[in-house]
Chain A
Amino acid sequence: MFNGLYVQNVPSTPFGPVTLHGNVKINDGLFEVGKDVYTLVFTVKFKGLTRVFTYKYTTVNNGIPACCISGNSNDSYVVMFPKFNYQVQIGFNIALSSNARYYSMTVTGDNIGAISNNNSSVWGYPPDSVEDANLVVEIDADFPIFSEGGSDSYSDTHSRTATRITLSPLATNYLPDIANGDYTNIDKAINFYDITNMIPANKVWHISNYLKVDGNITTTKNYDFRILPDAKIYFVLTNQIEGDASPNMILHITESPWLQKIGPAPDSSYTSTSILDNTYWWGDWTDYNNGVSYVGYGSTNIPIFDSEEKGTAYANGEIGEDASINGGSSSIRTSTIGDSLQSTDIPTVNLSTSGVGCYIYALSETQIKNLMSNYLYVTNATEIQNISDGIWLWGNNPIDFFIDCYYIPFDITNFYTTVNADMKFGTYRFDSGQGWDTFPVVQETNGQRLTLFNTTFEGIYGDWRDYSQFEYDLFLPFFGFFKLDLYKYLNHTVRCEMMFDVTTHNLRYYLFVDDVITDRIDSSVGINLPLMSSDMVNKAKSDRQARRESDRTAYKAIGSFLTGGLAVAGGIASGNASYAVNGGTSAITSVIDAKYNLDALADKVHENATQSVEGAFSSSMNIYDIRYAYLRITERELVIPDKIHELYNYPSYYMGPASALSGYCEISDIRIKSFTGTVEELNALKNALREGVIL
């Protein structure tokens, strides 16, 4: 095998037809003039693609037979120069519609001996008098594949039906928000133009091999390519040199099956350039060529990987689409060992939260504003009745009935059921029968859990690197990042359930692997409303104190009047008292009773004004958290020297006959079956094998 065949004049201009020039000289005289018909299989392999040209040539007396591959001189061209100074020279020109970047060319062939490179030539030797020789020319290259159908007014002369993936600004709504870790819709609509706009500020995502050159589409867009149904396609986003304005997104296709260039698309006359926003990728052209799909960007999602290596691993079937940055799902591996701590083992707690000294209401913003504005401090009775009602109703400041009042940034019904009922403050009830509204009352805690996600955390490479060079941080709303133990979670189906305790603001996340409890994470959420902040309390205190003094004066004046039999002068007491007097004799007894009660209650008010208030105040900035769970996968760049496996083989844990080993090996132990040396030689041998041996 020879690597590095010189290829001339490979243009770097994207999408321009590429012509490879080269020739192979075979130095021997085994091709006999005029005798045989030789068949050579001429295989051109692009990276991931293989195209085979088979042609025959007949030697003639020093003639120069020419053969055009596939009969299309524009496609490829091969000239044979047999039996000329013991050389056979194969020249070839292969025209490719691509902007492929040709990294190398490889020449291989059965019975091909040493092949040397002489600038643009490859020298070699022919097979030993065989008629059939295989000469393989491999061109290891990226190859862009695209198939698109033009503008909105695209007219298909073949009456093909197609599913069009629109890459227009209309797709903006489907764009993933990469900067915020949202790849949800990255597979729905790929708008390359907008992808470039999604580049994080400190990085540049390079996109190449896409349908854009300085904002315009080149004429080569009008080709159709066929990919057989089981082909795999993937994108690779490469984050390259910061500051380089040339984005780079490479589209790859797996090696098998091979890609077939169909030819100019029906709209090949469409030669005008157009901005990328009007570019479309078409898929599912099912009625063309016996139902084989013609896919540019098809109806199936194309995974996008952030490295060539991952993409290659995907193409080779080593990893699934789930390893791509646009996510997915994969199979479940179930733990079958030991006793499982199943999710059903989490107890159901029937903690009653209603009618046990308190009621818990889950109000909307409108409802709580209505409550505060129209329900508290307002009654519909006379002033004296207000006093009585107020005292009996509230006992003291109605705020004091608030044990807690806080805001949560999610719907409580995710965790609890609610039932509309009359609102109660102490012994007072806002009777809906009297026209008051009802409010949603939280029912018993019953262990209701909300499943946040249930997905598989699949490794990227499928080997030790998944564990040694990655960190997985799970972001949970209102908690933050939780570092995942990869040995516990990787390549497992992970479920996260959330519980919330309405009485304490506390929340808990359970993590399950294959339905087995693996971790629990506690946090709290909610922001207390400043109903009882110190200022408000002091205000309440002073207000109530002033009111108490006023009322007590009034009450005591009333009491003095009543007990002393004095006539009440209109100006003696407050209006409240005068209303009491106006109540008439029939009211006296009750007012007397009230007097004593009022005295006691007035003192009670005074006493209560010194009470501390309920409710704790906590820092609750986590209500501003992102409210969905996401995974932050940090991969440390790993450098594996190119030649490492060639020179030093692979990490291994091989136990078996040494005869099966080859190349560099480190042998930690050996079970000698036959040894004629001394013990010290044996020890020296073991040390040498541990140090390394090339077998």
Chain B
Amino acid sequence: MTVKLYTYSKDKMIANKSPYLTELATLTCTIVGDFNILRPTIRVESDSNTLTANYVYIVELGIYFFVTGRKGLTANHVELELENDVRHSYYNSINASDVTATRSNFYNKNIPDNMAMSCASERVTYRKLSQALTGDNYICIIGG
């Protein structure tokens, strides 16, 4: 399979990473062990690119992966442990879908912001609501 090697230095949560990818090389790779679409391991030739890339794209799968580990380094090959970047891989699917967002750029002011913190101090304000009751009486209840 063909794999494109990239470096990526932005936030992992960014869905569309394409503008921030720096391509290093395009190589061929083989799958190591049982194939897991979420966490595959591939073997590629070892060189400076494969040792510095932290993001790959497997062309045949059309899926982007984070490089989560390297092992089995030999003079010729290295095995890259990958993690499916579903945010980027299915960015178009996300964008074409309807969603329910609990945090977004659409501000619902009635929802508490759970990232706000309450501190210890208090601010007390008084507001007078009525006039004072005035006058007085001596009430005598007398039998008769």
Contacts and interface: CB of A to CB of B under 8 A. Distances in A.
Given A425-B144, A477-B133, A635 B122 contact: yes
Contacts of B94: 658, 670, 685, 689, 693, 695
B113 A634 contact: no
Interface in A656-695: 656-678, 680-681, 684-685, 688-689, 691-695
The residue among A407, A644, A667 with the most chain B CB atoms within 10 A of its own CB is: A667
B120 interface: yes
A390 to B, nearest CB: 16
A176 B2 CA distance: 79
Contacts of A692: 13, 103
B127 A409 contact: no
A424 B142 contact: yes
Interface stretch (A47-55, A224-232, A270-278, A645-653): A645-653
B121 A637 contact: yes
Interface stretch (B23-31, B69-77, B84-92): B84-92
Interface string A246-260: 000000000000000
B105 interface: yes
Contacts of B48: none
A412 interface: yes
B129 A453 contact: yes
B114 interface: yes
A61 interface: no
Interface in A191-243: 239
A68 interface: no
A461 B107 CA distance: 14
Interface in A606-641: 626-641
Contact of A681 (B86, B97, B105): B86
B98 interface: yes
Nearest to B38: A684
B86 A668 contact: no
Interface residue SS majority, chain A: mixed
B59 to A, nearest CB: 15
Contact of A361 (B16, B101, B140): B140
Contacts of A659: 95-96
A608 to B, nearest CB: 13
A525 to B, nearest CB: 10
Interface in B94-144: 94-144
Interface stretch (A3-11, A177-185, A340-348, A585-593): A177-185
Contacts of B103: 648-652, 664-666, 692
B13 A658 contact: no
Contacts of B111: 464, 651-653
Interface size class on chain A is 35 or more
Contacts of A694: 11, 13-15
Given A409-B136, A680-B37, A685-B90, A325 B125 contact: yes
Contacts of B105: 649-650, 652, 661-663, 665
A585 to B, nearest CB: 37
A18 B63 CA distance: 60
Contacts of A130: none
A365 interface: yes
B132 to A, nearest CB: 4
Contact of B127 (A630, A641, A665, A688): A630
B31 to A, nearest CB: 16
Contacts of B128: 181-184, 327, 628-631
Contact of A407 (B92, B109, B120, B137): B137
Contact of B139 (A178, A404, A477, A657): A404
A401 B133 contact: no
Interface stretch (A80-88, A131-139, A352-360): A352-360
Contacts of B134: 410-411, 627
A464 B109 contact: yes
Contact of B101 (A358, A462, A633, A665): A665
Given A409-B133, A529-B138, A652-B111, A327 B122 contact: no
B97 A657 contact: yes
A549 interface: no
B84 A681 contact: yes
B57 to A, nearest CB: 15
Given A464-B112, A651-B113, A668-B101, A410 B136 contact: yes
Contacts of B15: 693-695
A60 interface: no
A660 B115 CA distance: 23
Given A670-B94, A674-B96, A639 B107 contact: no
A453 B100 CA distance: 44
A404 B142 CA distance: 7
A496 B130 contact: yes
A658 B127 contact: no
A365 B144 CA distance: 22
A428 B143 CA distance: 10
B18 interface: no
8 contacts: A181-B126, A410-B133, A425-B144, A429-B144, A627-B134, A634-B122, A641-B117, A681-B90
Interface of A: 178, 180-184, 239, 306-307, 325, 327, 357-365, 367-368, 371, 400-414, 423-429, 442, 452-453, 455, 461-465, 468-469, 474, 477, 496, 502-503, 526, 529, 626-641, 644, 648-678, 680-681, 684-685, 688-689, 691-695
> Top 7 A-B pairs ranked by shortest CB distance?
A181-B126, A411-B135, A463-B109, A424-B144, A650-B107, A651-B111, A410-B133
Given A638-B119, A666-B101, 18 more contacts: A182-B128, A183-B126, A357-B144, A365-B138, A402-B140, A412-B137, A428-B144, A463-B109, A628-B128, A628-B129, A635-B122, A657-B97, A658-B94, A664-B13, A672-B97, A675-B93, A681-B86, A684-B84
